[in-house]
Structures are given as structure tokens and as C-alpha cells.
Structure 1
Amino acid sequence: MSESPVKTERRGHVLEVTLDRPKANAIDLQTSRALGEVFRDFRDDPELRVAIITGAGEKFFCPGWDLKAAADGDAVDGDYGVGGFGGLQELRGLNKPVIAAVNGICCGGGLEWALSADIILAAEHATFALPEIRSGTVADAASIKLPKRIPYHIAMEMLLTGRWIDAEEAARWGMINRIHSAETLMEEARALADHLASGPPLVYAALKEVVREAEGMNFQDAMNRITKRQFETVDILYDSEDQLEGARAFAEKRDPVWKGR
């Protein structure tokens, strides 16, 4: 039996997920299904609060869809598994923070995978592109997500031409949060993950659900759903021990102890 292309490591409340599929960390159907199982379990595990995704090695984060596997019979519209391509971009109810540590080439479906994270850190040598146009196909998830994340004209240029941008330009347009050296990228990602893991998980869940659901709503409708506690995560938060703990800790001038309940 071949070794799994998805490596996981638990560090306290943090799950590290490494795509390790030489030579380029491309994703085929089997790998996508494996990633979906990992992120489904992450979503459903109350002990895990934050995930980091990255690629093995120093050259590739992920180039996306494995065209060689496609040539051997993997259908582009095949069964990607729970969560859709890469296990993240269509996973329902994922209300925990995800950090992408982009350690190299990040293109096509690999860029879409990174865009499924909440925070993106990149190594200095990381590069980004949507080269699907050159292979006669559409970058479907990126066509939906990218024009909402960065200036429309920049997103459309990337989609229409497939041109590459470096980490500095990606940061300038707001595609990524910060740039780090290759040597410190994972150290910085872990420090951020540990910081988030020490925070209030019920608030994170409410934030992620509200942001996700409000994207297709007008402002007042979204506000009404919040104030009427019509978001499940908001309703849970407002009746939780953690809600009381936050107020008590503030009044007592101490750090809160979050229990996630």
C-alpha cells in the first residue's frame, strides 16, 4: 500500500496538514478525498481549534490539479470527496480558523486551496498564478473568489492571461497577509496558530459563519439574523459559559479561560 500523500500532526489544539506528493504536490482524486477526510475530522473534533496547511519540500506549495493523473483517467468532474477539491473549499460548517503557509509555487487549484484558508502567509520565494487559461479550462473557484479578494482588474488579468506574480505583489494586492523567509515561515505560522488556539473558539465559529453567510445578503438582513440569533453559532455563543467568562475576566482584570462551551 502506498504511503499517504497527506501528512498530519497534532500540536495541542492545532492540526498541521502537509501535502506531500512528489514531485510537485499536485492533487489527484485520491488525494482530494484524503484531504476531505482530514478536514472533516478536524471540523468535528472539539479538541482541535486551528489548522495549518502547507506543502512538503521547498519548491512547491501546490500546483493544483494533477494533469498527469487526468491523462491517466482521473476525470476533472470526478469524485473529489467531502469538501470538494482539496477538501476545503466546499466543506460545510467549517467554523474554525485555517492558516495557509505557502512555501513555494502556488498556482491553479493550489491557489484556490490557499484561498480557502482564512489567513495566508507566504515565503519570500513563493509565486502565484492561475494558468488554467493556457490548458483550455476555467479556474472555477478562483473565478468566484479572487475578484472579491483583490482589485477586480488584477484578478481578471490573472484569470485571463495566466500571468505569474511574486509574493511581494501578492501582498501588495492583499492576496496574502504577510511574507516571511523560507526558514521562518512555519515558525511564524505555528506562532499565529498557537495565538488563535488560545482564543475563544465559540467566537471564531460565530465569526466564520456570519462572514460566510452574510456574503450573499444585504447588510440589514444579515444584521437582523445576528440580533435575532438566527445563526446557530451566534445562538450557541450567547448562551455559553464562554460568553460569561469573557465578561467576568474583563471585570476581574484577568485573562479569560476559554472552554468552548
Structure 2
Amino acid sequence: MKVLFIGDIVGNAGRDAVKRVLPSLREKYNPHIIIANGENAAAGRGITRKIASEFFEWGIHGITMGNHTWDNRDLFEWIDDEPRLVRPANFAPEAPGQGMAMIKAGGKQLAIINLQGRAFLPPNDCPFRKADELVEQAREKTKAILVDFHAEATSEKIAMGWYLDGRASFVVGTHTHVQTNDDTILPGGTAYLTDSGMVGSKEGVLGMQRDSVLYKFKTGLPARFVVDEGKWHLHGAFVQIDEATGKAERLEKIRMTEEDWLLL
């Protein structure tokens, strides 16, 4: 099974990049299933039904979320009706939506699980215990399991990779918007990447306009962050999974700039 994962899509610049580049990525990798993190897709905060529908129209099969899940209130109106979108599973039990989904496409089935870290982020239930619960459930239907661990601390992400080694096919971190260079396949057969990176302006700060971010750092005062519309970069990962065992056979980081795409 071939799976393409697209890092945090940030605002209009990120959405535009995905729309433009996805056909080229499909041609190069020929993925059966495409998953993307969409928690920053709507002006950097949350996602709307319209944007989710666009992603599905472009060929994305599943969307993961994170700490900005609830930033667009209209999500409450449709999240329970959209089985292809998952929010962190370790949110409070009363939260609408689901933390795991079975994605079927290209004749394949992939379980996607979304978890959120607790270090330097709002408190939630234990992601490790929730991972135990959901991975066990997922393995009753498929051994191909992707876990998007939306977390701030690299140590917490690395710990999750080792914790799920041999049980998940791919543990990929999101949230920091900076792609890491530690892609590896762990001894138990789990592909691991601390952070997949982002899709959006490479001329801002994590996709946001520089001036407001610099103002906040320099003064310590509140500032309104606005999505930057400069030239984009696109980050993600490609993983190939042995469906019989659930083990990863190949992992490749994806890193592309707008200039790279124009030269294709």
C-alpha cells in the first residue's frame, strides 16, 4: 500500500499549493491513499465544510486535525456527518466527531488515528493510553495504521514513535510546521517522522506574516497573526506499507518549493 501524507496546510497559500502540486505528486508516487492535516486550512485556524469538500474533490481521502480543531464554529454542524475527518481522539469524551477513521480507496484500507500531545498544549486525556485503545481496535480490521500525533515537544513525539513501534505502520508528527530530518523505519517496522512540516508561505513565520510575529516577540504584547501569502513550500511524506504485516517498507520525506514546482 502506498500512502501520501501532506503536512499542515496553512491558509489560502497552502490550499493553493496543494491544488497545484497534488497532480504531480500523484503522478510521481501513485498513492492509493492521500491524507492531509487540515487544522490550519481556514485562514490559519481550523477548517470549514467548503474547504474540506475542496480537499476531497482534489483527491485527498482523509483529513486529520489538531489544537485548532474548533476554531471555526461551523465544524460543530457537520463533523459528526463526515467520516473522513478525524480530530484528536484524546479530546474529552463529550467532544463531537471521531478520533479514528477507516479510509478505503484504491482497493486498500488504512486506519488513520489523530492524537494530540500534552506537553506545552492544553490538557487532554493521555494520548498514549488512547493510542493503545485505538490501535487495538484498528488492528481488528487492518494492519495498515497511520497515526498523526499533533504535538509540540519533539521528545513526546519521539516517545510515541517508540511506543507504537511494531503496532502502527507510520507515526508522523504535525503541529510545529518545521519538517524534521529524522525520517526512519524503527526496528519493529514502524515508519517515523517527528514533524512532517507544512504547506504554505515560506516567506512568513510558520506560515504567518512576519511583522506581527516579530512585534509579539520584541514587545511581549498581543498581536493578531495573519496568514502570509508569499511564495509557498510544501512538505509531507510518502510511505509504503506491507499490508500483510502492517510494517513500513519505505519512507521518503517530501520537500518542494514553488520555484521547484515551476521547473517541473
TM-score by length of structure 2 reads 0.30
Please identify which structure carries the higher strand content: 2
Please give the TM-score of this superposition, normalised by the length of structure 1. 0.30
Structure of higher CA gyration radius: 1
In terms of fraction of residues, the more helix-rich structure is 1
